[in-house]
């Protein structure tokens, strides 16, 4: 077993499914919430001489934050999330951490306990070999898969601290991602007139109205130029709800829309434009609700200290040292908006994240840990502070 195998097996074996706003603790499902895995991370680091503490964000749902002082008062933030998505439909035991052909299987193996394990190994190594050039703060945060409360709590805790940049752990196939899309999600409703299905001419079919909306969305792409690393903005219907019974003309139909935004787009402005566009399709028959999810895109300059150092470490290891973009959202955009230049990096592929047989190659977890160590050690103390 590789050095990451035992650690990642333990992490995956501790259920930490995001409760999505539901209760945790007494009376709740035992696989919900992040407290148990946060405690494990704290204890594992403490056993290796790294000061770590739990910081409760929501009742029973803490972040875990560890600090390794450096020779410079500035520090590099290593941030990865503790929570996972649900386990329904998995074809492997979600919590067994089965190892087969060099891969570890289970929920969270690559999203994002693999990156978390790599960051833990890197932090322990940096602590064991004298003060690194920069200090390191490792943060395992809750609620990334739902409402981002963990990273927002972390940002509040870091207020006034001198953070030169962050590496955010997500499955990027071991490439440095300095850009990713944001999103705005909202519900669209068509308003018909319900009636008996034997007399459809006396009703207004809301599902038929919605078919016109969906057809429009299929044909009308967002009118913004593509991003060089991210490609085009997208707009996708992700859920449809409509109909009361087999013999009733439906009076209401709803769809949810996921609009992926590019750097430079404000998600609320995007929603307002979409609302104007869609309500004009069938005047008086369409409602567009306020967004239920808003997240911003990431676009970190590749020359920022942490991305540049990470790309240097990748080059020295003979890996792809170019910068990339990712289509999914991460905590990095929240950190960047708080003034912390951030790069997304980690072992595993997003194609395996949330999948029925989620897994990660253990050799890649080990390599990610070594690359993070080299990134921190290669940073120049004489470099400028971030603004």
Numbers of helices and strands, H then E, in the chain: 9, 19
Reduce the DSSP state of residue 56 to 3 states and report it: strand
Given a cut of 50, is residue 386 above it in pLDDT? no
More confident residue, 28 or 140: 140
For 206-233, write each residue's pLDDT tens digit. Answer: 999 999 999 999 999 999 999 999 999 9
Instruction: Please list the alpha-helical segments (H only) found in 129-266.
Output: 149-157, 206-219
pLDDT (tens digit per residue) in 35-73: 999 999 999 999 999 999 999 999 999 999 999 999 999
Cα dist. 15→29, 36, 116, 247 in Å?
A: 10, 8, 15, 44
Q: For the whole model, what pTM was predicted?
A: 0.94
Predicted confidence at residue 128, as pLDDT, reads 96
| C-alpha separations of 360 from 89, 99, 387 in Å | 19, 10, 36
Q: Apex CA 383: angle with CA 380 and CA 387, to 5°?
A: 135
pLDDT for 196 beyond 50: yes
For 334-369, the pLDDT digits (tens) are: 999 999 999 999 999 999 999 999 999 999 999 999
pLDDT at 385: 37
| pLDDT (mean) for 130-146 | 95
Banded model confidence at residue 169, pLDDT cuts 50, 70, 90: very high
Q: Work out the pLDDT band at 382, boundaries 50, 70, 90.
A: low
pLDDT > 70 fraction of the chain, expressed in percent and rounded: 98
Confidence of residue 241 (pLDDT cuts 50, 70, 90): very high
- Report the pLDDT value the prediction gives residue 324, as an integer from 0 to 100: 98
């Amino acid at each position: 077993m590789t050095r990451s195998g035992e650690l990642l097996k333990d992490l995956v074996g501790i259920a930490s499914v995001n409760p999505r706003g539901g209760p945790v603790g007494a009376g709740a499902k035992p696989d919900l919430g992040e407290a148990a895995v946060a405690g494990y991370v704290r204890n594992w680091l403490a056993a290796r001489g790294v000061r770590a503490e739990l910081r409760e964000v929501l009742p029973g749902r803490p972040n875990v934050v560890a600090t390794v002082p450096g020779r410079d008062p500035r520090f590099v933030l290593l941030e990865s999330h503790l929570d996972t998505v649900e386990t329904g439909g998995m074809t492997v035991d979600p919590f067994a951490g089965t190892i087969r052909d060099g891969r570890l299987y289970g929920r969270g193996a690559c999203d994002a306990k693999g990156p978390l394990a790599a960051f833990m190994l890197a932090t322990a190594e940096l602590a064991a070999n004298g003060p690194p050039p920069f200090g390191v703060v490792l943060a395992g945060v809750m609620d990334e898969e739902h409402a981002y409360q963990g990273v927002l709590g972390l940002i509040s805790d870091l207020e006034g601290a001198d953070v030169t940049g962050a590496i955010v752990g997500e499955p990027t196939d071991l490439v440095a991602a300095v850009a990713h899309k944001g999103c705005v999600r909202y519900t669209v409703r068509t308003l018909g007139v319900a009636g008996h299905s034997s007399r459809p001419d006396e009703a207004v079919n809301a599902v038929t109205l919605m078919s016109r909306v969906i057809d429009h969305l299929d044909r009308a792409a967002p009118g913004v130029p593509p991003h060089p690393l991210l490609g085009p903005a997208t707009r996708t219907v992700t859920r449809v709800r409509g109909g009361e019974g087999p013999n009733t003309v439906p009076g209401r139909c709803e769809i949810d829309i996921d609009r992926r935004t590019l750097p430079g787009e404000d998600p609320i402005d995007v929603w307002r434009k979409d609302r104007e566009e869609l309500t004009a399709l069938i005047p008086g028959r369409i409602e567009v609700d306020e967004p239920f999810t808003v997240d911003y895109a990431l676009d970190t300059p590749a020359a920022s200290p942490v991305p540049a150092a990470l790309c240097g470490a990748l080059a020295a290891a003979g890996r792809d040292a170019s910068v990339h973009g990712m289509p999914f959202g991460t905590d990095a955009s929240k950190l960047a908006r708080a003034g912390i230049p951030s790069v997304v990096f980690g072992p595993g592929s997003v194609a395996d994240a949330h999948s029925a047989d989620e897994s990660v190659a253990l050799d890649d977890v080990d390599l990610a840990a070594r690359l993070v160590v080299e990134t921190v050690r290669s940073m120049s103390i004489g470099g400028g502070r971030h603004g």
